[in-house]
Structures are given as C-alpha cells and as structure tokens.
Amino acid sequence: MKYRNVYLESFGYTLPEEVITTDELEHRLAPVYERLRLPHGRLELMTGIQVRRFFPPGTTPSSQSILSGEKALRASGIDRRHVGALVHGSVCRDFLEPATACGVHHGLNLPSDCLVYDVSNACLGLLNGLIQVANMIELGQIRAGLVVGTECGRQLVENTVHRLNTDPNLTRQDIKHLIASLTIGSGSVAMLVCDKELTQTGNQIMAASFLARTDQHQLCQSEGLQPFMHTDSERLMHEGVATGAETFTKFLAETGWQRNDIDKTVCHQVGTAQRKMLFETLELDSKIDYTSLETLGNTGAAALPLTMALALEHGHILTRNRVAMMGIGSGINCLMIGAHWQTSRVLGNFESAEAVRSR
C-alpha cells in the first residue's frame, strides 16, 4: 500500500503514575519461587523489563483514551470538526458492547458524522486502525481521523501472580507459558492522522506492508476480558521474527528504500531477546531503534505508537528521518509502516482532559 495524501500529525499519550518494579513483582511471587526453587531476578534477566506502570484499580480504558485523544487533538491544532473517523484499537475495552470507541467519541465531543468503531487484533490493533484511517483519507472519504487505545494490565498481572502462588500443580514448564503475562504494563496513546491540506507538520506516511501467518495463531491466546494469557514464548519469538523478516522484504519493495535508507525504527515492545533476534535477522543496527520496554513493559497494542511518541519527545526521531514502524502481533500478523518525518507534535502528561482543553 502506498500513500500520497496521508500525514501522521500528532500524538497524545497518558502514563499511569503507579510504578511496579520487576523486583517487587518477584518478591510477591516468593511462594512459587520457593516451591519450585526458582532464582530471584530471572524475570528481569529474561525480559529486560525493570518496571511497568498500572492505572488505579477500576480504571476504564475509555477514560484514559479520552484524555490521550484530547491531547492528540490539542497537539495537532486541527479542529475536531474535521475528524471523520475514530478507531479504538487496544486489547482492553470497557465492555463487549457497545464499542469502547462510542464512549471515547462522546467524551471528545467529536462530530456526529464521524465513523466510530473498535478494532481488535492483539498487539496490532492501533496500527491496523492507523492504516484503515490512512486508507479513508487517501480515498478522499475523510479529512482526518483519530486512532486511540488504552491497555490496563493490572488485572492480568495480579490474576497471574495469584494463580502462580496458589496452584500447587503448576510445574516449571507450566510457568513458562505464563511468563508473558508478567511482562504486561499499562499505557494510553492516540494518533491524529490528516490529509495534505490540513497538515501543519509534513509527516508523510509513505507506504505500508502486511503479512498474515495464521497457521501460528495458537502460540499466544487469552480468555475473555479478564484473561490469563497462555503463550509459547520461545516459539512465538522465532516465528514472529521469521514473519517480520518476510514482511520486511515486502516493506523495502513497497517503500523503495534500502536498509541503509532507514534512519530510525520503532517496534512492538516484547523483550530484549526478541528485539536482538529481530535486528540481527533484518541486518539492521539496533542503535537506530528506540525502546520503552525497560520502563513500561509490554503495553499491548499501545506499545508501538506509545514508544514512538516517547522517541519523538526525547529527540530520537529527527527532521527528514525515514522511520520504519515495525509491528508484530500474535496471530501471527505483521504490519510495517514507513513515514518521512519532519516536525514532531506530542503532548503527554498527567493533566485532566479539562485542563488540556482549557489551555
């Protein structure tokens, strides 16, 4: 897919204030660690995750998505009456029906002729939403769209800790399939996308490539809205990287770029081993990449766009950089998006939506 009229105008993000260290989490796992004689420190060693953040108990995804969406709108300077689509793409949602996007649409006071829906595709939900909005803009159906999502990982992590400590039948092998659940963190992010006439930044989305290898869909699965994740982490890592390598070949052909043309990358945030294997396989220098997994953990579908927002805010991505957004999600699905960057507009803090609006 190639684009001529689509621009990634701004980001808004919201991070929880509560910080939980991996060391603290392992102390909470003392009963199972002692029973199975597991060494303290192995979780951080295996994943590279030092801390993650959690929203307060009972936080709804829509409440944080409204806040992040308001920030993205504010940062863009684009009137919300131009927003013709709102897509909510996180794994977490308020309930099964109606779409969580409905509450976000209402909270943001977006136009009534705005297309509103949820997208669910594991850790690729927000990137899928980004491409759907980009397609609508390219076709001239809408002028701007907002893609937003919030992952609330507290319940999954706490449920997993409780199960590990109270199920006496769990073996070391069983625990391997639950480790991924302990890497989850919380975060919220929104992206405002617009057409050429509205853009004030010139951050053009150039192309996107995708690939589905659904024969591997069983490698990471969860149950219901308050799930336990069951993940074959090692096999998922190898199959995911293989899928990424195949997609990357398509991506280079679609963008017309060579490897050396890529100035910066942002990837889904899973763990240090996966990242190392991916960059070695793609023959890319890991120095061009920006990570957040060390301090945020795996924030699901929010991970890649949230990490990109932080990379922009911290000056990692510069004017005229060619940026590759490389997403890999269970399923297995892979989506890579190329952008030519110019000007960064990011708003991320702990203010309320009302405070942001009043600026």
Q: Which amino acid belongs to residue 237? A: M
Q: Which amino acid belongs to residue 345? A: R
Nearest to 187 by CA among 108, 92, 290: 92
Cβ neighbours, 10 Å, residue 253: 11
Nearest to 190 by CA among 55, 92, 75: 75
Question: For residues 112 and 264, is the Cβ–Cβ distance under 8 A?
Answer: no
**Residues whose CB is less than 8 angstroms from the CB of residue 328 and which lie 6 or more positions away in sequence, other chains included:** 123, 124, 240, 241, 243, 244, 267, 268, 278, 334
The catalytic site residues sit at 97, 123
C-alpha 138 chain-centroid distance: 23
Question: For residues 14 and 350, is the Cβ–Cβ distance under 8 A?
Answer: yes
- How many CA atoms lie within 13 Å of 37's alpha carbon, on the beta-carbon side? 0
Backbone Cα Rg of the chain: 20
> Helices (DSSP H) in 139-258: which residue ranges?
154-166, 172-176, 233-255
Burial (Cβ within 10 Å: 0-12, 13-18, ≥19) of residue 139? exposed
Phi and psi angles of residue 203, each rounded to the nearest 5 degrees, phi first? -80, 85
d(Cα 333, Cα 213) in Å, to the nearest integer? 6
d(Cα 289, Cα 23) in Å, to the nearest integer? 26
Cβ neighbours, 10 Å, residue 258: 8
